[in-house]
Chains A and B, each alone.
Chain A
């Protein structure tokens, strides 16, 4: 009890609150700008916090992470360019809403859903971090393989018009992710003698290239063809549509459901916010009520992806605090901040640093509220991004893509990879291959391959041992069910994200 009080006091010191505020501000900027991704920004921010006290440092970093998740939606809604890969799914409905003049409404929905998902997830973290540790440890190779299979079935759900083309794109993602050192034998695979490819095709370069850079090409094309056709490039008009009580009532069930999807994606290592957001979207679509127009500016779609996206980070701290296993890339970078201050996340953390943990909990709640304030006041400022003419956006965003990718690794190789994948993404889109299913395959593929290999080894090549693993069986059944539903259902033409 004393520790809880002390933690409270620590979190309410002016320095700690100021650190949270700065983190939120920085995070919002990072989130709004495409090309500067959350992990990259976090990695750069970690050393800056070296001289701060542990609580201020971690509060600052948590602020950056939370606000970048919320800020990512702004670009997705206004420009159809997600500021963060995890906001890619927000484009599905956010951008059509903005096109229909409901930008303010979409932005507010995104903000409130983000804060909602965030706070709920933080409360779940506080309540469950300790008890869930035992559960997370039960997830062995066979269980993880089944979870990955489950995640991969969503390629089919997001395939769009042509199932074959969606699958080709997803499988191509898995294929491209096999480039690099083989996880088992550590021999190079399709690296063509390039040491830069030993760790695989860089993820940041892929997401920035495939999503942001490609979008700039498409925007440029659209701009010129509009100009040629004599269409004046009118900025998206905002009809000052506001969020009404009936809207809030309509989206609340979706937000709650999606928050829990996000929490699950956070707890299960490897899934992360991007998959969390896509999963939430798929779930929301599956549970659509008559009259819901997903893909055409459905407000519930925005609420689903954003609440899930923001629910991931706090939840991904659950396995981190409990067993020292980060549930997401951002959580993995936060580990480094803990370590820098001599705190090793693990079972000891609750015994050794209760004051710090409670301080962090309180700071996380402060960060959520701070995000609400900054996001609310900055709403119209950020929304103005939509009225900046394309001729100014395209060159500057391309520069940001180049700089952001470079900063990630300090190497021009990533920049070349970004351009290469950007061109590939452009060609894929022109021929109707979904970039989104590609990215799912790219992210989940390698985890799936590794877990599968682990399963083969620990079961001594007897994969039928799965019969003794109830959790694995549950996920396999879920996968079968999901695959059946996705294959059978009449696929409403899901708008390709970047179209």
Chain B
């Protein structure tokens, strides 16, 4: 769970909201890139009777930029004690995502049964499962499941 604990000693002068500042810079940059690079390159305007295809995306991107700015300013003015970002390390999530991607690539290049089994083994390993029997059992179960789905067509 990624709840950010709202603890942290209430100092006399809360410091600059660095985290919000970085978020703002990233969102504003993405918003500007979208408006000035991506949308012009990826939409074609013709003689529309309704709206130009680029209008809604542009308005959305601009609104995101403005809201991000508003959020940052709000934090800057009403400085609250720093929320310590002591959530769980993102390492686990990265491992899980990596395992899934490798599994999918195996599905892509080998087949569903092998790819599925590899996916399960890697995900289990990421969760510190080290019992060989469990790993093999889980892989075999998924391989069998995928075999059945594959051949019986659900």
Write out the residue numbers on chain B whose beta carbons fall within 8 Å of the beta carbon of A412.
104, 107-108
Min CB distance, A223 to chain B, in Å?
6
Q: Do B53 and A182 touch across chains, with their CB atoms under 8 A apart?
A: yes
Q: Which residue of B lies closest to A461 (CB)?
A: B49
| Contact stretch, chosen from A123-131, A186-194, A470-478 | A186-194
Q: Do B119 and A398 touch across chains, with their CB atoms under 8 A apart?
A: yes
A414-433 at interface with B (beta carbon < 8 Å): 415-416, 419, 422-423, 426, 429-432
The listed residue with most A CB atoms (<10 A of its CB), out of B2, B74, B120, B126, is: B2
With A44-B154, A220-B96, A395-B123 known to touch, is A171 a contact of B64 (CB < 8 Å)? yes
> A402's contact among B23, B44, B103, B128, by CB below 8 Å, is which?
B103
Q: Do A227 and B128 touch across chains, with their CB atoms under 8 A apart?
A: yes
Q: Do B51 and A224 touch across chains, with their CB atoms under 8 A apart?
A: no
Complex CA distance for A223 and B70, rounded to whole angstroms: 36
Q: Do B71 and A391 touch across chains, with their CB atoms under 8 A apart?
A: no
Tell yes or no: A329 within 8 A of B by CB.
no
Write out the residue numbers on chain B whose beta carbons fall within 8 Å of the beta carbon of A422.
97
Q: Do B104 and A416 touch across chains, with their CB atoms under 8 A apart?
A: yes
Tell yes or no: A217 within 8 A of B by CB.
yes
Complex CA distance for A118 and B145, rounded to whole angstroms: 33
Min CB distance, B78 to chain A, in Å?
12
Tell yes or no: B25 within 8 A of A by CB.
no
Write out the residue numbers on chain B whose beta carbons fall within 8 Å of the beta carbon of A184.
48-51, 53
Q: Do A224 and B60 touch across chains, with their CB atoms under 8 A apart?
A: no
Write out the residue numbers on chain B whose beta carbons fall within 8 Å of the beta carbon of A445.
56
A131-175 at interface with B (beta carbon < 8 Å): 162, 164-165, 167-168, 171-172, 174-175
A188-222 at interface with B (beta carbon < 8 Å): 188-192, 213, 216-218, 220-222
With A415-B104, A423-B97 known to touch, is A402 a contact of B1 (CB < 8 Å)? no
> B88's contact among A191, A225, A398, by CB below 8 Å, is which?
A225
Min CB distance, B102 to chain A, in Å?
11
Q: Do B101 and A399 touch across chains, with their CB atoms under 8 A apart?
A: no
Q: Do A216 and B57 touch across chains, with their CB atoms under 8 A apart?
A: no
With A164-B68, A184-B51, A185-B53 known to touch, is A419 a contact of B43 (CB < 8 Å)? no
> A392's contact among B50, B56, B138, by CB below 8 Å, is which?
B138
Q: Do A407 and B43 touch across chains, with their CB atoms under 8 A apart?
A: no
Complex CA distance for A165 and B75, rounded to whole angstroms: 12
Tell yes or no: A243 within 8 A of B by CB.
no
Interface string of A326-359 (1 = CB under 8 A from B): 0000000000000000000000000000000000
Write out the residue numbers on chain A whose beta carbons fall within 8 Å of the beta carbon of B119.
395, 398-399, 402
Q: Do A395 and B88 touch across chains, with their CB atoms under 8 A apart?
A: no
Q: How many residues of A contact B (CB 8 A)?
A: 61
Min CB distance, B105 to chain A, in Å?
10
Tell yes or no: A454 within 8 A of B by CB.
yes
With A184-B49, A221-B88, A395-B123 known to touch, is A174 a contact of B43 (CB < 8 Å)? no
> A224's contact among B101, B128, B145, by CB below 8 Å, is which?
B128
Q: Do B127 and A172 touch across chains, with their CB atoms under 8 A apart?
A: no
> B93's contact among A220, A392, A419, by CB below 8 Å, is which?
A220
Q: Do B127 and A224 touch across chains, with their CB atoms under 8 A apart?
A: yes
A462-487 at interface with B (beta carbon < 8 Å): none
> A218's contact among B1, B63, B101, by CB below 8 Å, is which?
B1
Tell yes or no: B11 within 8 A of A by CB.
no
Write out the residue numbers on chain A whose beta carbons fall within 8 Å of the beta carbon of B103.
398, 402
Tell yes or no: A456 within 8 A of B by CB.
yes
Min CB distance, B75 to chain A, in Å?
9
Q: How many residues of B contact A (CB 8 A)?
A: 60
Q: Which residue of B lies closest to A448 (CB)?
A: B56
Write out the residue numbers on chain B whose beta carbons fall within 8 Å of the beta carbon of A162.
71
Tell yes or no: A238 within 8 A of B by CB.
no
Q: Do A394 and B68 touch across chains, with their CB atoms under 8 A apart?
A: no
Complex CA distance for A111 and B31, rounded to whole angstroms: 44
> B92's contact among A213, A221, A396, by CB below 8 Å, is which?
A221
Write out the residue numbers on chain B whose beta carbons fall within 8 Å of the beta carbon of A429.
2
> B149's contact among A172, A175, A403, A454, by CB below 8 Å, is which?
A403
Write out the residue numbers on chain B whose beta carbons fall within 8 Å of the beta carbon of A175.
34, 56-57, 60-61, 64
> A220's contact among B39, B50, B87, B126, by CB below 8 Å, is which?
B126
Q: Do B42 and A217 touch across chains, with their CB atoms under 8 A apart?
A: no
Q: Do B67 and A499 touch across chains, with their CB atoms under 8 A apart?
A: no
Q: Do B127 and A223 touch across chains, with their CB atoms under 8 A apart?
A: yes
> B127's contact among A44, A391, A423, by CB below 8 Å, is which?
A391
Write out the residue numbers on chain A whose beta carbons fall within 8 Å of the beta carbon of B101.
419
Tell yes or no: A453 within 8 A of B by CB.
yes
Known contacts A190-B42, A227-B128, A430-B90, then 18 further A-B pairs from the complex at CB < 8 Å, ordered by chain A residue: A168-B67, A171-B67, A172-B60, A174-B56, A175-B61, A175-B64, A178-B57, A187-B43, A190-B38, A220-B127, A394-B127, A395-B123, A398-B119, A402-B119, A403-B146, A431-B23, A454-B50, A457-B49
Residues of A within 8 A of B (CB): 44, 162, 164-165, 167-168, 171-172, 174-175, 178, 182, 184-185, 187-192, 213, 216-218, 220-225, 227, 390-392, 394-396, 398-399, 402-403, 407, 412, 415-416, 419, 422-423, 426, 429-432, 445, 449, 452-454, 456-457, 499
18 contacts between A and B (CB under 8 A): A164-B67, A171-B60, A171-B63, A172-B64, A175-B34, A175-B60, A217-B96, A223-B127, A224-B88, A394-B123, A398-B123, A399-B146, A422-B97, A445-B56, A449-B51, A449-B56, A453-B48, A453-B50
